[in-house]
């Protein structure tokens, strides 16, 4: 079955595409501008007509444009710029030997190639190493095992755990402080015990990450900063 995604376009310079999200639970119209990628979403009750949605969007046009204008511009890693790695800024410099290499406070990249994909490759490798280590530690403490671990770049979540024990993590966690990465690993491993977000689940998280509330707050306050960095043109 092909799912059709409804969209509206807010006219102007530039025109803005707005994705419609119909929900049986929605009781009113509501707009959201993503802090991650600037995507504009209009949620509306399931049976509401497009004409009502268009009129609402027209009234909120100024609000949408102000929120988009307030968003920081995305950053593309280049030689001379900085990128956070494990919570600390690293300057991107040209490598003498032409290979991407992470050293103290510096990330060397091959100057003959685009810097951004090389930076992303370093982050992916680092994230996999750190997350595998953290997951193994937390899984052993909770007496559980997982079946696989993959790195991806999702927009809306830092990790996930399936009922079959498959773990997925955002490799952008390599840019966050180590304790934040460790918390996300603990969170997903706790789902091997409780596949929900009940009080019982949070007790499992607290067993392996007692300071989880502070780390959750860091992601809420700073997570969008990690998504402002683009690794593809």
**Per-residue pLDDT tens over the stretch 208-217:** 999 999 999 9
CA 65 from chain centre, in angstroms, equals: 23
Per-residue model confidence as pLDDT tens digits over 51-110:
888 999 999 999 998 888 877 777 899 999 999 999 999 999 999 877 889 988 999 999
Query: 3-state DSSP call for residue 224?
Result: helix
Domains of the chain (ranges, CATH numbers): 7-70 (no CATH), 82-227 (3.30.2010.10)
Sequence-distant (6+) residues with CB within 8 A of 128 are: 149, 151, 171
HSE-CB of 37 using CA atoms within 13 angstroms: 9
| Percent of the chain's residues with pLDDT above 70 | 97
User: In angstroms, how far is the first alpha carbon of the chain from the final one?
Assistant: 32
Whole-number Å distance between alpha carbons of 135 and 133: 6
Q: Which two tokens stand for residue 140?
A: 């052993």
39 or 144: which leads in pLDDT: 144
Per-residue model confidence as pLDDT tens digits over 115-131:
999 999 999 999 999 99
Of the given ranges (7-16, 106-115, 129-138, 169-178), which has the lowest mean pLDDT? 7-16
Whether the per-residue pLDDT at 233 is higher than 60: the answer is no
Whole-number Å distance between alpha carbons of 111 and 123: 18
Whole-number Å distance between alpha carbons of 127 and 19: 32
Give buried/exposed letters for 31-55 (b at 16+ CB in 10 A, else e): bebeeeeeebebbbeeeeeeeebee
């Amino acid at each position: 079955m092909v799912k059709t995604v409804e969209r509206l376009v807010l006219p102007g310079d530039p025109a803005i595409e707005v994705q419609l999200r119909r929900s049986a639970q929605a009781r009113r119209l509501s707009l959201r501008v993503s802090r991650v990628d600037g995507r504009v979403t209009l949620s509306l009750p399931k049976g509401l007509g497009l004409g009502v949605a268009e009129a609402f969007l027209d009234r909120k046009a100024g609000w949408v444009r102000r929120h988009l204008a307030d968003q920081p511009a995305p950053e593309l890693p280049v030689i001379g710029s900085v990128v956070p790695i494990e919570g600390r800024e690293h300057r991107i410099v040209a490598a003498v030997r032409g290979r991407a290499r992470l050293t103290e406070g510096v990330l060397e990249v091959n100057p003959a190639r685009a810097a951004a994909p090389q930076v992303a490759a370093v982050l992916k490798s680092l994230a996999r190493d750190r997350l595998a280590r953290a997951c193994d530690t937390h899984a052993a403490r909770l007496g559980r095992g997982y079946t696989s671990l993959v790195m991806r770049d999702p927009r809306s979540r830092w990790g996930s755990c399936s009922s079959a024990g498959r773990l997925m993590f955002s490799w952008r966690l390599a840019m966050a402080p180590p304790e934040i990465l460790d918390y996300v690993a603990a969170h997903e491993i706790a789902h091997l015990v409780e596949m929900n977000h009940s009080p019982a689940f949070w007790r499992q998280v607290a067993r392996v990450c007692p300071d989880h509330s502070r780390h959750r707050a860091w992601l809420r306050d700073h997570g969008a900063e990690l998504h402002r960095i683009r690794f593809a043109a």
